[in-house]
Amino acid sequence: MFAAKATKSNTKLRYGVKGKQLRFFDAQGVDELVSIAMTLAQELWVVKERLATVEAAAAKKGVILGDEVEGLQFTPEQRATLDAEKKAYIDRVFFTLREQAEALEGDADDEPPPPAMP
Amino acid sequence: MSENINHDLKVDHTRDERARQHFVSGMRSYVLNDLAGNLRTLYGNKVEPAFERSQGRKPADGPEVHKAMKGETLFKYYSSLRCNTQEMVWRSVLPAVERESDDLAARATKLHQSNSGARGTLTMDGSVQVPRYLEALDVHLMPGSYHEQHRDADVSQGAVYDNGLSVFAMGLLGPNMDDITQSVSTFFAARYPNFKPKKILDMGCTIGHSTLAWKDRYPDAEVHGIDVAAPCVRYGHARAQSYGVEAHFHQKDAEFTSFPDESFDVIYSCMFLHEVPGKNIRNILKEAKRMLKPGGVMLHYELPPNKLMSAYDGFYLDWDAFYNKEPFYKGFRDMDPADECATAGFKNDQFFNFVVPSMSFYGKDAVLKEVSQAKAEGDSNVGRFADGVRWFTFGAWKN
């Protein structure tokens, strides 16, 4: 195998999707807010995964080195734990969506109504 | 994850880039398993009963379900999160491919010229035009799609697709991301043990995942892959060379291949036809018939037709046509594969279709167990890219 070299290319690729942008929400700006929230959620995950890496590296040698963090391989057990934490984390961030569906299950129709609104 | 790519066109993602990919895969799994389940619950508990109350009947087809669902906040969030996640798939791999794109072109060129291992060939044809229906959009919300070229001898979009697909797949496509064709070809070879193809063509092969799977199944066969997208064809050949697998890649349009009449025993495509408008699909099926030897077989892994599915499952699968830059997807799913094979000149009694369990999800024994009984029956797992997926295939023998 050739080593994959992290060289810097002069070539530029395209990051944005061309053409008509998809819109789902009636209120202006909500689609963008969803995208922003998704990216924030992603970046928080990046921090959490890096922290887990640092902790694993520290535990392994007692000394934290930049290269060690970059190159560290989790054991399958550590990876499995992290994956489980990731799933739980996503579930927490987007809890409101699960709640909407679950709220309809079972005896939802039997709920006593609140007093009439003033 | 893209860190699992195990050939010489592998690119180095930083740790944070890998973490972004992990998030995207996890998010996709959440949307396609958990949130999709919530959506189905919402439909059963609220949307379908409301429709029945107002219309005195259940929704008859996918479009009626879609119309009833599209105002629901949960559907809007499902769609919005799915689109965002899809775009994040590609954005999570683009930086590493961009950093290494010049080096990737050099590595691919070296592999094209390598005589040390496999002797597969690469035939580029600059006169091949990317069809307007493909050129005009970023298929699957992938910036640059399959074909955009950013430099000479460019393989970047092939690399974006390979790396992106491994994030997209959530592990469902197996270690080499070829589970569909591994499953389908394993089933096919077991069902027809006396059929020994000498020459196999994979149409719309992109970077050759399926092409090489056929070589696994029939090592003595000569295997060819064609695609209009130059970066993918180059990447596919270099990837095959890196694996030491002899396969021949050509830049060609499946409608006009210029291969001789009666030159292939198997003509296959995987997830290809639904990206193509109906009239071009008909041309492709006719071209396949022309190229097939008598006694040969055409088969296509595809999304199941709407006629096999319930109204809700039809709606669920057709989502991509509306929201994932795959505008021909629904038109294809509304077609009847048997009718289309007949229109292309195949005899009615030579048509077949079947549904195969995913080999990487259910195991090889489950695939082999289906050999004597598999037929095409629609249920919510068929063609639905999530845990428990089963693959639909149709085709016809030429005699």
Number of domain units in chain B = 1
Contacts 24+ apart (CB under 8 A), B61-66: B61/B306, B61/B311, B61/B314, B62/B306, B62/B309, B62/B311, B62/B312, B62/B314, B62/B315, B62/B317, B62/B318, B62/B330, B63/B315, B64/B311, B65/B311, B65/B312, B65/B314, B65/B315, B66/B315, B66/B318, B66/B322
- Backbone phi and psi for residue B153, each to the nearest 5 degrees, phi listed first: 50, 35
Contacts of A53 in chain B (CB under 8 A): 15
Q: Residue B116 belongs to what domain range?
A: 1-399
Chain B's closest residue to A52, CA to CA, is B19
CB B127 within 8 Å of CB B197:
no
* pLDDT tens by residue, A45-74: 999 899 888 888 888 888 777 677 788 889
CA distance A22 to chain B (A): 7
Of B15, B22, B156, the CB nearest to A13: B156
Spacing of C-alpha B79 from chain mean position? 21
Interface check for B150 against chain A (CB to CB < 8 A): the answer is yes
The interface predicted TM-score of the complex, written ipTM, equals: 0.74
DSSP state of A109: G
Radius of gyration (C-alpha) of chain B in whole angstroms: 21
Query: Which pLDDT tens digits describe chain A residue by residue (118 residues)?
Result: 344 445 688 888 988 887 777 789 998 888 888 988 988 899 899 998 998 888 888 888 887 776 777 888 899 999 998 898 888 788 777 777 777 677 666 655 666 676 766 6
Q: Answer yes or no: do A9 and B79 touch at CB < 8 A.
A: no
CATH of the domain at B221: 3.40.50.150
Residue B86, chain A, CB below 8 Å: the answer is no
Task: Report the relative pairing of strands B199-203 and B222-227 from DSSP bridges.
Answer: parallel
- Which residues of chain A have a CB within 8 Å of the CB of B78? 97
CB distance A24–B80 less than 8 Å? Answer: yes
Tell me how far apart the alpha carbons of residues B240 and B245 are, in angstroms, rounded to a whole number.
Answer: 5
With H, G, I as helix, E, B as strand and everything else as coil, classify residue A40.
helix
> What distance in Å separates residue A58's CA from the closest CA in chain B?
16
Question: Are A13 and B143 in contact (CB < 8 Å)?
Answer: yes
Our CA angle for B330, B348, B366, nearest 5°, is 70
Select the residue of A11, A24, A42 nearest B151 (Cβ to Cβ). A11
> Which residue on chain B is closest to A45 by alpha carbon?
B23
Of A42, A105, A107, A109, which to mutate for an interface test with B (greatest number of B Cβ within 10 Å)? A42
Question: B148, A14: Cβ pair inside 8 Å?
Answer: yes
* Nearest-angstrom CA–CA distance, A82 and B317: 31
Is B1 near chain A, with CB under 8 Å? no
Q: Decide the pairing of beta strands B292-302 and B390-397.
A: antiparallel
Which positions 106-125 of B are in contact with A (Cβ < 8 Å)? 107, 110
Q: Are B337 and B353 in contact (CB under 8 A)?
A: yes
Q: How far apart are CA B333 and CA A107, in angstroms?
A: 38
Which residues in chain B land under pLDDT 70? 1-3, 116-118, 374-378
Helix axis angle, B311-323 relative to B73-113, nearest 10°? 60
- pTM of the full structure: 0.89
CA angle at B386 for the pair B18 and B200, rounded to the nearest 5°: 90
H/E element, B216: helix B209-217
Packing angle of the helix pair B311-323, B62-69 (nearest 10 deg) = 70
Tell me what pLDDT residue A106 has: 61
Q: A with B: how many residue pairs have Cβ under 8 Å apart?
A: 165
To the nearest whole Å, the CA of A118 is away from the closest chain B CA by 27
